Chains A and B, each alone.
Chain A
Amino acid sequence: MSKNKTTIVAEPGKQEAFIIREFEAPRELVYKAFTDPKLLPRWLGPCDMKTKIDVLEPGDGGRWRFIHTSKDGHEFGFHGVCHEATAPERLIRTFEFEGLPERGHVVLETAIFEALPGDRTKVTIQSVFRSVQDRDGMIMSGMEKGVVESHEKLDELFEKELQLK
């Protein structure tokens, strides 16, 4: 377990959420780990899924698409466009989950990499959603996963959801 704790800020009724975490590495390296197609699959995505980088065009305007594959072979695609990649301090991109029933639920993500004393880095990821519903849905999707892990009874329900996707 790391001594660096992940903080989630999601105030009720707001369209945004923050993910905040500090790392024991200089920000050049942290930025690299966030942008290098060889490094990303090694940490991005839930630990019980495999992550594949389908597309990752470097720099401003570049397209990206990642695929998470679960153990039972279900694929979850995510894609978007890089709005700004300013090494090593800022990444701004759009983000859309392809598994939703309709298109258009886009998220604007800004990752700020802040250099801290002692060659440490603070990362703040702000996600701005189109609606409060979109945001809550996204946060709850993380929860659904956890629920399935702990309540086997809900397997069936989850199965249904996957089929819908």
Chain B
Amino acid sequence: MQTRRDVFQAIADPTRREIINLIAYQSLNLNAIAENFDVSRPAISQHIKVLTECGLIIVKKQGRERYCEARLQQLNEVSVWIERYRRLWDEQFEALDEVLEELKAKEKKKNKRK
């Protein structure tokens, strides 16, 4: 069975996010990417494999070098990542709404007593 790969899986890992950021504006070969991390080269290769399978990067052969190029159009799905973040805040602000309603009710009582 083939494992399903999607953008979320690709960017759920901090190392993979960093790889995307690294190559967002310039294509880099594997060694150049690996130099930026403390983890082993095979580990970086594995991350790049996942990113490739998710369609976020493509690997281009240039002579003997293999260059990784970002395909960030895929990250259109990423408006979804902002949406998640938005929901996280929405959730908190809904709780804040309740706190504010309570405060307002208290103030009203106080003013009535005056």
Contact = CB atoms under 8 A, between A and B. Distances in A.
A8 B89 contact: yes
B1 to A, nearest CB: 13
A140 B86 CA distance: 11
A19 interface: yes
Contacts of A44: 92
Given A46-B92, A137-B17, A161-B14, A39 B99 contact: yes
Contacts of B91: 46-47
A142 B85 contact: yes
B104 interface: yes
B74 to A, nearest CB: 14
B16 to A, nearest CB: 10
A6 B90 contact: yes
B88 A23 contact: no
Contact of B81 (A1, A42, A140, A161): A140
Summarize B's interface: helix, strand, loop or mixed.
Answer: helix
Interface residues of A, number: 41
Contacts, number: 108
B111 to A, nearest CB: 12
Contact of B93 (A6, A10, A143, A146): A6
B65 to A, nearest CB: 25
Contacts of A32: 103
Contacts of B11: 140, 143
A108 B51 CA distance: 32
Given A42-B95, A137-B17, A25 B100 contact: yes
Nearest to B100: A25
B107 interface: yes
Interface of A: 1-2, 4-8, 10, 19, 21, 23-25, 29-30, 32-33, 39, 42-47, 132-133, 136-137, 139-140, 142-147, 151, 154, 157-158, 161
Given A24-B100, A42-B99, 17 more contacts: A1-B94, A2-B97, A4-B93, A5-B90, A29-B100, A33-B103, A42-B95, A42-B98, A43-B99, A46-B88, A46-B91, A140-B17, A142-B81, A142-B85, A143-B11, A143-B84, A146-B84
5 contacts: A6-B86, A25-B104, A43-B92, A132-B21, A145-B84
A-B interface, 7 closest residue pairs, ranked by CB to CB distance from nearest: A142-B85, A146-B84, A43-B95, A143-B81, A25-B100, A143-B84, A43-B96
